[in-house]
């Protein structure tokens, strides 16, 4: 008898069950992907997204310096997933097609990690993506920042290790590309926030949300008029994957152009989470960039990417996660 959808066999034949090999650890998938720093904040969200595709086999290399196995607990034991405790300042030999290089030890060893991952990419012919940073623009003299801007970085300042470490990492990427033909991708990530951020790592969004939930004053570092542009983590992951799978080396800015002063951010968090909390002005660290906002024309045109989640929609998603981890239920 004919089925309503026109498929004569639909009732008679159940869909074929996949071969047991599909579930064996020896199953060969189409793409083997290494994520260094995959136990961290952005890395673990990237792993979640990559694992959604049944053709991907994902290997995470992480030394848990700032990341945690907890971020990956749903994948541990999965046949397409492997977790290696490894410090990227030591060479790593694995057969992979793509490398997302996120592991970022406290610079300057950042450079050694990138050199090792480039060595791996060269050896196995993998495409490698570096998560660089908007910090390469330093305290920028042009606004918004576009990729052609060379930046204004203090080479001997307190934050130079990170900024200059990433700048050297970008240089190495291009040298390997030119000299050895390695396929490279460079993302310049602007401030990213979302669930699984480290609660006490001192970044502004995590600080303010944790402070509001703990009923502690929100510490705005002077003068408070400095600006940042905050990208929700799912948008970031989407941008990184589009960059990896597209045809452009970059560098490409990936960030949300919505720009806020730190006072505005504090007011947003206060209004959303704890209207009674105090906002307190505290001392800042030297060389804090006064303004930051990505020009994302390149990402829009070359990757067909733009962020979807506004700060006012992203903050509540992060609040939920922080409430759970800090043990502060909503009715308190
Ligand atoms: N979050 C942001 O706003 C932001 C902005 C710009 C650039 N980035 C870049 O994005 C990447 C990921 O950042 P994140 O916010 O997820 O940070 P994160 O600290 O949560 O993640 C970094 C991960 O790398 C691991 N790691 C550190 N040193 C390592 C080493 N030597 N060997 C192996 N693993 C090591 C850590 O354990 C952690 O899991 C970094 O490269 C960072 O510089 C992040
Ligand atoms: O996006 C980037 O490229 C970089 O962003 C951040 O660097 P930064 O912008 O300094 O981020 P925060 O430490 O979160 O500080 C942002 C602003 O908030 C201010 N701040 C921070 C913490 C706080 O409690 N109060 C506060 O007002 C800081 O003075 C600064 O102006 C990250 O720390 C880097 O890893 C990342 O590479």
- pLDDT bin (cut points 50, 70, 90) of residue 185 is very high
Instruction: Return the structure tokens found at 303.
Output: 């990757």
To which residue do tokens 């939920």 refer?
A: 320
Check pLDDT > 60 for residue 167.
yes
Check pLDDT > 80 for residue 40.
yes
pLDDT at residue 201 in the model: 87
Ligand number, closest to the Cα atom of 102? 1
Contact criterion met (CB below 8 Å) for 288 and 154: no
Which superfamily does CATH assign the domain made up of 25-326 to? NAD(P)-binding Rossmann-like Domain (3.40.50.720)
Q: Decide if the complex's ipTM is over 0.95.
A: yes
The verdict on the CB of residue 210 being under 6 Å from ligand 2 is: no
pLDDT at residue 9 in the model: 42
The verdict on the CB of residue 191 being under 6 Å from ligand 2 is: yes
Q: Atom 33 (ligand 2): residue with closest C-alpha?
A: 203
- pLDDT bin (cut points 50, 70, 90) of residue 105 is confident
Please give the average per-residue pLDDT across 55-68, as a whole number.
Answer: 97
Check pLDDT > 60 for residue 16.
no
Atom of ligand 2 nearest to the CA of 133: 3
Please give the average per-residue pLDDT across 297-313, as a whole number.
Answer: 98
pLDDT at residue 19 in the model: 52
Please give the average per-residue pLDDT across 53-71, as a whole number.
Answer: 97
Check pLDDT > 90 for residue 88.
yes
Please give the average per-residue pLDDT across 185-206, as a whole number.
Answer: 96
The verdict on the CB of residue 39 being under 6 Å from ligand 1 is: yes
Check pLDDT > 50 for residue 306.
yes
The verdict on the CB of residue 62 being under 6 Å from ligand 1 is: yes
Q: Atom 34 (ligand 1): residue with closest C-alpha?
A: 62
pLDDT at residue 27 in the model: 54
Contact criterion met (CB below 8 Å) for 98 and 43: no
- pLDDT bin (cut points 50, 70, 90) of residue 109 is confident
d(CA 227, CA 224): 8
Reduced 3-state DSSP string for the chain: CCCCCCCCCCCCCCCCCCCHHHHCCCCCCCEEEEEECCCCHHHHHHHHHHHCCCCEEEEEEECCCCCCHHHHCCCCCCCCEEEEECCCCCCCCCCCCEEEECCCCCCCHHHHHHHHHHHHHHHHCCEEEEEEEHHHHECCCCCCECCCCCCECCCCCCCHHHHHHHHHHHHHHHHHHHHHCCCEEEEEECCEECCCCCCCCCCHHHHHHHHHHHCCCEEEECCCCCEEECEEHHHHHHHHHHHHHCCCCCCEEECCCCEEEHHHHHHHHHHHHCCCCCEEEECCCCCCCCCCCECCHHHHHHHCCCCCCCHHHHHHHHHHHHHHHHCCCCCC
Higher pLDDT, 217 or 9: 217
Q: Atom 1 (ligand 1): residue with closest C-alpha?
A: 192
d(CA 50, CA 46): 6
Please give the average per-residue pLDDT across 291-308, as a whole number.
Answer: 98
pLDDT at residue 28 in the model: 58
Identify which of 262, 285, 291, 311 to mutate to test ligand 2's pocket (most ligand atoms within 8 A of the CB): 262
Indicate the average pLDDT of the chain: 92
Please give the average per-residue pLDDT across 41-66, as a whole number.
Answer: 97
- pLDDT bin (cut points 50, 70, 90) of residue 24 is low
69 CA to middle of ligand 2, Å?
25
The verdict on the CB of residue 154 being under 6 Å from ligand 2 is: no
Planar angle of CA 55, 252, 265, nearest 5 degrees: 100
Q: Atom 32 (ligand 1): residue with closest C-alpha?
A: 87
37 CA to middle of ligand 1, Å?
6
The verdict on the CB of residue 134 being under 6 Å from ligand 2 is: yes
- pLDDT bin (cut points 50, 70, 90) of residue 7 is very low
The verdict on the CB of residue 219 being under 6 Å from ligand 2 is: yes
The verdict on the CB of residue 229 being under 6 Å from ligand 2 is: no
Write the pLDDT tens digit of every residue in 318-329.
999 999 999 999
Atom of ligand 1 nearest to the CA of 109: 31
Write the pLDDT tens digit of every residue in 123-163.
999 999 999 999 999 999 999 999 999 999 999 999 899 99
pLDDT at residue 110 in the model: 86
- pLDDT bin (cut points 50, 70, 90) of residue 15 is low
168 CA to middle of ligand 2, Å?
21
Write the pLDDT tens digit of every residue in 277-288.
999 999 999 999
Check pLDDT > 70 for residue 3.
no
Write the pLDDT tens digit of every residue in 233-262.
999 999 999 999 999 999 999 999 999 999
């Amino acid at each position: 008898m004919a089925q309503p959808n026109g498929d004569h066999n639909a009732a008679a034949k159940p869909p074929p069950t996949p071969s047991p090999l599909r579930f064996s650890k020896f199953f060969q998938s189409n793409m083997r992907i290494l994520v260094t720093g995959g136990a961290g904040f952005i890395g673990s969200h990237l792993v979640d997204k990559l694992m959604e595709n049944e053709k991907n086999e994902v290997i995470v290399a992480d030394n848990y310096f700032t990341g945690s196995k907890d971020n990956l607990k749903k994948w541990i034991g999965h046949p397409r997933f492997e977790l290696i405790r490894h410090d990227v300042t030591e060479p790593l030999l694995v057969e992979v097609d793509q490398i997302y290089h996120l592991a970022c030890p406290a610079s300057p060893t950042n450079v050694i990690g990138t050199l090792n991952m480039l060595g791996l990419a060269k050896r196995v012919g993998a495409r490698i993506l570096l998560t660089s940073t908007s910090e390469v623009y330093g305290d920028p003299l042009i606004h918004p920042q576009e990729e052609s801007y060379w930046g204004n970085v203090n080479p001997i300042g307190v934050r130079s290790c990170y900024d200059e470490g990433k700048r050297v990492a970008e240089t190495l990427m291009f040298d390997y590309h030119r000299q050895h033909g390695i396929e490279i991708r460079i993302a310049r990530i602007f401030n990213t926030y979302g669930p699984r951020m480290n609660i006490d790592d001192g970044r502004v969004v995590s600080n303010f949300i944790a402070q509001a939930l703990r009923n502690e004053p929100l510490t705005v570092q002077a003068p408070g008029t400095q600006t940042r542009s905050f990208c929700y983590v799912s948008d970031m992951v989407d941008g990184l994957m589009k960059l990896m799978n597209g045809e452009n080396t970059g560098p490409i800015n990936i960030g949300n152009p919505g720009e806020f002063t730190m006072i505005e951010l504090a007011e947003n968090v206060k209004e959303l989470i704890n209207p009674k909390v105090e906002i307190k002005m505290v001392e800042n660290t030297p060389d804090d960039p006064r303004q930051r906002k990505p020009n994302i024309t390149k990402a829009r045109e070359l990757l067909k990417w733009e962020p979807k989640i506004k700060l006012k929609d992203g903050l509540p998603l992060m609040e939920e996660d922080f409430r759970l981890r800090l043990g502060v239920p909503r009715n308190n």
